[in-house]
Amino acid sequence: MLMRVIFTAIMFGALLVLVACQPTRVLNTVVPSGSYHAHTDVIYGEHERQRMDIYLPQQEKIKEQVIVFVYGGAWDQGDKKEFEFVGQAFARLGYITVVPNYRLYPDVEFPDFIQDVAVAIAEIPATLQARNIDNCPSGRQVILMGHSAGAHSAAMLVADPQYSHTAGIDDLTISALVGMSGPYDLPLEHERVKDKFSQVEGEEANPVALAHAEMPPTLLLHGGQDTVAEPLHTEKFAQRLRELDVHVDVHRYDRARHVALVASLASPLRFWTPAYNDIQAFLTEQQLDGECFPEGPH
């Protein structure tokens, strides 16, 4: 028994080192299978990166809301296939989960990567209908979730109505925003930011400045040891939302670093932070866990 505990500890230790040093796709090799069916590389635009992966729960009772997860990568790297573990995590709860790719710098600059996410969201209703989801969920009620640069994009989508107008999703409801490790008070002079936002004038890329009273209920999660996007970003964003009387919950995990927070959504690493449980509790509290077919599928 002792040897088994030691072996497990060694394996988890090795996994933590891999996650810290390599892309998050290493987590895809250790997440449980069988809780979802994936539709990969679903087209939502003409560019080769305008593709999305859709994770359909295999359980009978599916949630009415669709989760859209926007990954990070400083707007110049990342791929949806690295985040299968996120799709699995929320499909297991009964949510259809969509992970879109988007165009990256240097091919594009702000605001193109945000517009891509908006266009992907606009395509979800027709995509689900084409896959015989029986119109429930319709894809018109969306929980928008993002990590790092993806959290910035998600926050921009709900803070600035122009993206919804341009993509034609004014009739779609963003039911909640879940931001993880986001740079919401974007430092435009930062070396990893300035070239990608070179055309910005004023506060047009700043979710803190653009926030308004019609923002959806928001959950902000941040690691206390995050040196990539410091926790002050979440504190500023949360304070602004409170000033606007927008419902906002904040969880800070004192020992978590930047990548560790999103990695802790993977089932083998949920001991790292309670982020997964905190997200689930928030969605339940906001009554965003309703099922399409309480008595079973039609």
CA gyration radius, the chain: 18
Buried-exposed string 93-112: b where 16+ CB fall within 10 A, e elsewhere: bbbbbbbbbbbbbeebbbbb
CA nearest neighbour of 30 among 14, 52, 48? 14
* Ramachandran region, residue 10 (left: φ > 0; alpha: ψ -120 to 50; beta: rest): alpha
E strand or H helix that includes residue 98:
strand 96-100
pLDDT of residue 236: 98
pLDDT of residue 18: 44
For residue 167, list its beta bridge partners: none
Q: What is the pTM of this model?
A: 0.90
Q: What is the pLDDT along the chain (298 residues), one digit of tens a residue?
A: 434 433 333 344 444 444 444 446 666 666 666 678 999 999 999 999 999 999 999 887 899 999 999 999 999 999 999 999 999 999 999 999 999 999 999 999 999 999 999 999 999 999 998 876 666 788 999 999 999 999 999 999 999 999 999 998 888 999 999 999 999 999 999 999 999 999 998 999 999 999 999 999 999 999 999 999 999 999 999 999 999 999 999 999 999 999 999 999 999 999 999 999 999 999 999 999 999 864 444 3
pLDDT of residue 134: 60
Question: Residues 6 or more apart from 273 whose CB is under 8 A from it?
Answer: 223, 253, 256, 260, 261, 264
Question: Residues 6 or more apart from 268 whose CB is under 8 A from it?
Answer: 12, 15, 27, 30, 31
pLDDT of residue 33: 64
The rounded distance, in Å, linking the Cα atoms of 124 and 146 is 17
The rounded distance, in Å, linking the Cα atoms of 17 and 22 is 8
pLDDT of residue 35: 74
pLDDT of residue 170: 83
Going through 120-269 in order, the beta strands assigned E by DSSP cover: 141-147, 173-180, 218-223, 248-253
pLDDT of residue 168: 86
Q: Which CATH superfamily is domain 2-285 in?
A: Alpha/Beta hydrolase fold, catalytic domain (3.40.50.1820)
